[in-house]
Amino acid sequence: MLAAIALAFLVDAPPPVAAVQPAPLREVVYKCSALRREDLSIETYGGQVANPNPGNDPVIFEPQPTAKRRATLEEGTLTVDVVGIQQDVIKVQVTEQFKDRPAPLVYSAFVAPNGLVRYDAANPSPIARYLLPLFGTKFAASAALASGDSWHVDLKTDAVDVQSIFTIISQDGALLNLDELGTVRLNSAQGMNYNVRGKLRYKPSLLVPISGDIDERGNRSTMDTTDEATTTVHFERVSDTLDQTPAPTAAPK
């Protein structure tokens, strides 16, 4: 009898309720794109190497330079969900939904007050790398926020030295037009160094980037190779749960 009652209870019991994820504190959606071009070349600079197929030819020869060129385009939407704030560090969930990807890429990131970001993902998109620092609670480290003001966001580790300078070039009502100038230096013979230039629109009252255009140029040279890479990033805000009347995204030329 007890077994029958227990079985009836199990059969008639309602299914377990799935845990409900709390709604994000804020959701910001961007339309975005990133185009990366790579030009990888191999040269001898007048040197000679052993002929792999000598036959009747000399055992040494000077090969022609070779090159590999490729381009990769990522475009779609990037969503930033603010899911928590602790001691001015913002935890966000990022959803990259790009064309030609089989599924969205979802990962967490932590934005320090000055804009330094730690990613819980191996390869965040270049769009995320340039967009997320602007969510830092004290990113605009200027009390007056006047045209001409500038500040640094730098990171130095055993592996990399990143230096970024942001300058207010003009104000447009509630928005700031910023110039970004940066360098990335890798402490590795295999790494590629980068120079960065960008133009951004930023709304300090809501701590949110409105739009941005960034040009990243990398190079690496050895006695045998010359490699170059260029990445062009564009993003513009299309919705924001804390700002129901988004300002125009276009930045002045």
Report pLDDT digits (tens) over 132-141.
999 999 998 7
> If pLDDT is split at 50, 70 and 90, which confidence band does 1 have?
very low
What is the rounded CA–CA span in Å between residue 45 and residue 63?
Answer: 10
Query: Any long-range contacts for 215-220 (C-beta under 8 Å, 24+ apart)?
Result: 216/126, 218/184, 218/192, 218/193, 218/194, 219/192, 219/193, 220/191, 220/192, 220/193
Handedness of CA 132, 33, 74, 231 (dihedral sign): negative
> If pLDDT is split at 50, 70 and 90, which confidence band does 14 have?
very low
Residue 3 has pLDDT above 60, yes or no: no
Output the pTM of the full model: 0.78
Read off the tokens for 229.
């890479």
Q: Return the percentage of the chain with pLDDT > 70, whole number.
A: 75
Least confident of 107-111, 147-151, 248-252: 248-252
Instruction: Check residue 17 and give its pLDDT.
Output: 47
Strand partners, 42: 66, 225
Q: How far is CA 139 from CA 51, 108, 207, in A?
A: 57, 19, 8
- Among 219, 139, 220, 208, smallest CA distance to 180 is for 139
- Segment 208-216 shows an average pLDDT of 97
More confident site: 51 or 25 = 25
> If pLDDT is split at 50, 70 and 90, which confidence band does 195 have?
very high
- Segment 34-55 shows an average pLDDT of 69
Please report the DSSP string for 13-68 in residue order. SPPPPPPPPPPPSEEEEEEEEEEEEEEEEE--TT--EE-SS-TTS-SEE-PPPEEE
- Segment 42-56 shows an average pLDDT of 58
What is the rounded CA–CA span in Å between residue 46 and residue 113?
Answer: 52
- Segment 106-135 shows an average pLDDT of 94
Q: Where are the domains of the chain?
A: 23-240
- Segment 159-182 shows an average pLDDT of 93
What is the rounded CA–CA span in Å between residue 233 and residue 242?
Answer: 25
Query: For 57-108, how does the pLDDT look when each residue is reduced to its tens digit (9 = 90+)?
Result: 555 555 555 667 888 999 999 999 999 999 999 999 999 999 988 999 999 9
Instruction: Check residue 40 and give its pLDDT.
Output: 75
More confident site: 17 or 3 = 17
- Segment 48-65 shows an average pLDDT of 58
Residue the block writes with tokens 């191999």: 42
Residue 171 has pLDDT above 90, yes or no: yes
Q: How confident is the prediction for the chain on average, in pLDDT?
A: 82
- Segment 21-29 shows an average pLDDT of 89
Q: Are strands 117-119 and 150-156 parallel, antiparallel or unpaired?
A: unpaired
Query: For 223-252, how does the pLDDT look when each residue is reduced to its tens digit (9 = 90+)?
Result: 667 788 999 999 999 999 999 866 566 665
Read off the tokens for 176.
């700031």
